[in-house]
Amino acid sequence: MNPLLKDFVTAPFSEIKEEHYLPAIQKAISLAKQEVNAIVTNTAKPSFKNTTEALEASGEKLNRITSIFFNLNAAETTEGIQKIAQEVAPLLSEFKNDITLNTSLFKKVKQVFDNKDKLALNEEEKMLLEKQYKSFSRNGANLSEDKKETLRKIDSQLSQLSLKFGENVLAETNAYQMHLMQEKDVAGLPESAKEAAKELAKEKNKEGYIFTLDYPSYGPFLTYAENRELRKEMAIAAGKKGFQKNKNNNEQIVLDIVRLRQKRANLLGYKTHAHFVLEERMAETPEKVISFSNELLEKAKPAAEKEFAHLTAFAKKIDGIEHIEKWDGAYYSEKLKKEIFDLDQEALKPYFKLENVINGVFTIANKLFDITFEEVFNIDTYHEDVKTYEAKDINGKLLALFYADFHPRKGKRNGAWMTSYKGQKIKSGINERPHVSIVCNFTKPTETKPSLLTFNEVTTLFHEFGHALHGMFANTTYQSLSGTSVSWDFVELPSQILENWCYQKEALELFAKHYETGEIIPMKYIEKIKESASFHQGMQTLRQLSFGLLDMKWHTEDSLHVSSIKEFENNAFKNTKLYPEVAENAMSTAFSHIFQGGYSAGYYSYKWAEVLDADAFEYFLEHGIFNKEIAAKFKEYVLSKGGTQKPMKLYQQFRGQEPKPEALLRRAGLI
């Protein structure tokens, strides 16, 4: 029997073959349709129980199967899986539309919604009903039949285009390698980076060194390689993903996606895709996002320009370079940082052995939230690199299963993310606990060294683990409101706040120990990490704002007349630009967050959530970074409530006030 169609507790990875996916998804769609049909044909008067709750409970098997499939398509894909994804995407989009465009079903949902004031519903039930009603009204339930048909076509096309976009980016990443034979070409690179590149060459039966566009290879190369021409080659290769005249070109795909999104928004009665998206976010309107971004830009730009001028003068002083380019940024920043703070990122790495950092994040979570983690070896995984843990509460009760996948591979897309294989909900009186996963791309161990993380990778691990805690502490009745099922501009709060502990002495001393001697990270390094936290924050802020503003421009402007992606981007970047333009490069053609992930018209949310996290962390700083009382409030109102209440209401219950942007500006050293 197809393992995906059996009842399973944890995902049966080792039993699944590629040929199981399509029939399992088709069967699960047909089961879900039967469940929906039972609601439609029920002759009893529509009620919260027989309509709202019944619809929420439908499609459970389909959700589990597709979560396995799409998670593997991101973390362990193959050509076969990618091909299946192209077949499956339109089926799922059609099924989703079969529900939201079902007139009889919508009538029932609307009837319950219209009578909501007569029903004795609690806050979570009200939220479920409201979100369910909106998911119909916002996705075409009120359209005429011919317009519904148009919407179906658009959704089907969009689902396939975003998959194709991601496949092209992955193919471009895998296609490039820099093969170097001479020692002088790797001058300046740390031993660890050279060793990793040597091992990669060996794996490919070659002499010398191989560098790729995977971040653990690409990052150190751009930061340390003394050969400017090679840095340039590497930076240009990374910047032209999806922007080359080959079969992986994403230019037309980008234009098709934004035009279809625009068409879809108009069809549904919205001015733009951004208006459609933001209606259900904390920010509410594109105007608010743009004014929020411009306000921050006003504060950050003078600092960024000053930092850039300083960096340029520094490059001229040490190497006689008149104009610094994009491939010089990380290199000279690292040198300047070393000069100002006497801080060498490479000197920090021995204190950040991956296993110690994992134990550190576990210990910090325990001190804050009384959660414990135990590695278990009886859970099926999709790759030998994947570690599994049981997370338990203070009474030893299972809170969640936790999967962690840390190293780059051929079938894994770049970046880091959190996801889940099973959501949390209360069913038949039983609180079903979630199965949560984080996926990263950290430096692999080598023959002589364990996996040693850069400080950047340490904060990435804490970030993703913050998302994971949001999933693990989920404690709601309904899965669609559980865990990270919150507004995009609120979802980054748990992840971003956790990064703050990486800069605190009390926290660092728990896990930052030298991998050979066991010596705790010296105080001088901790002070330097703290001091350097606001280094080039003006430039960093400008960079983040530039991505968010590009995203808003794609999703608020009429793209019908855009013929050149490059021109469009140059226009979007004109107020945030510091470095000279690189003709061969484009950002949009590999901007996976907005063209493949769920961040379209939502990239601003990283900065938005930074305002929340800086304000929230100030609360901890005032009372102690391990203050149990504040941690309990954070767990109660932010981590466990999911999307059961409006985000601002949850934030105010935790903090006792609305967030103030000054906290972020103070932390960034911009005021």
Domain ranges of the chain: 3-142, 176-239, 350-536+606-667
**Alpha carbon separation from 598 to 81, 200, 588 (Å, rounded):** 21, 33, 15
Q: Do domains 3-142 and 350-536+606-667 have the same CATH topology?
A: no
Q: Which of 362, 652, 599, 341 is nearest to 489 (CA)?
A: 599
363 HSE (CA, 13 A, CB side): 15
212 HSE (CA, 13 A, CB side): 22
**3-class DSSP state of 550:** helix
- Residue count (the chain): 671
CA distance 183 to 205: 18
Q: In three state form, how does the secondary structure of 94-142 look?
A: HHHHHHHCCHHHHHHHHHHHHCHHHCCCCHHHHHHHHHHHHHHHCCCCC
How does strand 425-427 pair with strand 430-432?
antiparallel
Would you state the pLDDT for residue 343?
A: 85
The hierarchical CATH code for the domain 350-536+606-667 is 1.10.1370.40
**Alpha carbon separation from 446 to 191, 223, 406, 498 (Å, rounded):** 11, 20, 14, 29
Token readout for 252 is 């037309």
Would you state the pLDDT for residue 671?
A: 81
* Average pLDDT across the chain, whole number: 96
User: For residue 397, what are the contacts with CB-CB under 8 A and spacing of at least 6?
Assistant: none
CA distance 190 to 219: 12
Instruction: Name the stretches of the chain with pLDDT < 70.
Output: none
Cβ atoms of 213 and 176 within 8 Å: the answer is yes
Q: Which residues are 431's β-sheet partners?
A: 426
Q: What sections of 176-214 are H helices per DSSP?
A: 191-203
Report the Cα–Cα distance between both ends of the chain, in Å, rounded: 63
CA distance 483 to 192: 38
**Alpha carbon separation from 216 to 53, 194, 202 (Å, rounded):** 46, 11, 17
| Residue 319 main-chain phi, psi, to 5 deg | -130, 5
| Residue 437 main-chain phi, psi, to 5 deg | -140, 145
Does residue 384 have an active-site annotation?
no
Would you state the pLDDT for residue 530?
A: 87
Neighbours of 133 (CB within 10 A): 19
Q: Which of 638, 635, 667 is nearest to 652 (CA)?
A: 638
DSSP string, 482-544: STT-S-HHHHHHHHHHHHGGGG-HHHHHHH-B-TTT-PBPPHHHHHHHHHGGGTTHHHHHHHH
CA distance 477 to 8: 21
Residue 499 — left, alpha, or beta (φ > 0 → left; ψ -120 to 50 → alpha)? alpha
CA distance 382 to 222: 32
CA distance 613 to 615: 5
Q: Which residue has the tokens 């998959």?
A: 163
CA distance 491 to 608: 10
DSSP string, 6-54: S--SS--GGG--HHHHHHHHHHHHHHHHHHHHHHHH--SPP-IIIIIIH
**3-class DSSP state of 431:** strand
Q: Which residue has the tokens 């285009």?
A: 161
- CATH class of the structural domain 3-142: mainly alpha
Token readout for 173 is 């990443």
CA distance 387 to 403: 6
Q: Which residue has the tokens 């609307």?
A: 110
Cβ atoms of 15 and 381 within 8 Å: the answer is no
**3-class DSSP state of 150:** helix
**3-class DSSP state of 143:** coil
Cβ atoms of 474 and 433 within 8 Å: the answer is no
Which one of 464, 492, 569, 618 is the catalytic residue?
Answer: 464
Token readout for 385 is 């690199």
**Alpha carbon separation from 451 to 196, 220, 445, 458, 464 (Å, rounded):** 10, 14, 4, 12, 18
Token readout for 389 is 């843990």
Cβ atoms of 327 and 235 within 8 Å: the answer is yes
At 178, which amino acid appears?
M
Cβ atoms of 198 and 234 within 8 Å: the answer is no
